[in-house]
Amino acid sequence: MWITISAVNLALAVMVGAFGAHGLKARASEIQLGWWQTATDYFFYHALGMLLIALLMHMKPQFNIKRSFILMQLGIILFCGSLYVMALGLPRGLGAITPIGGALMISAWLDLAWKARKIA
């Protein structure tokens, strides 16, 4: 299930990246395109991170990193999602959610580091 979720995230990252490059370019400002690009970059990085976590969980079941995975998924939704929404022209006030998503992403990586330290 975890690898499937990771693969779906990676497919979605390709799709939103393509939409930004081809469908949004003519309609969005440079700032909006920058938000879209940032969201897509972070989406890819963290979807790959989720795949890494899923593979670690598959290879070492005693390495319970489910929380890292969930934190990263929530981070993607809030961080990338808020940037995508703003890039589409919806209220910029949604940018207040972006740092929460970033904090969740950071928490996911720190949680992973903590768990790795404990089993090493």
Q: What is the pLDDT of residues 21-42, one digit of tens each?
A: 898 988 899 999 999 999 999 9
Residue 107 makes CB contacts below 8 A (sequence gap 6+) with 71, 75
Domain boundaries, the chain: 2-119
Task: Please write the tens of the pLDDT for every residue from 37-77.
Answer: 999 999 999 999 999 999 988 888 888 889 999 999 999 99
**Strand, coil or helix: 37:** helix
Query: Which H or E run contains 109?
Result: helix 98-119
Residue with tokens 């981070």, as numbered in its chain: 75
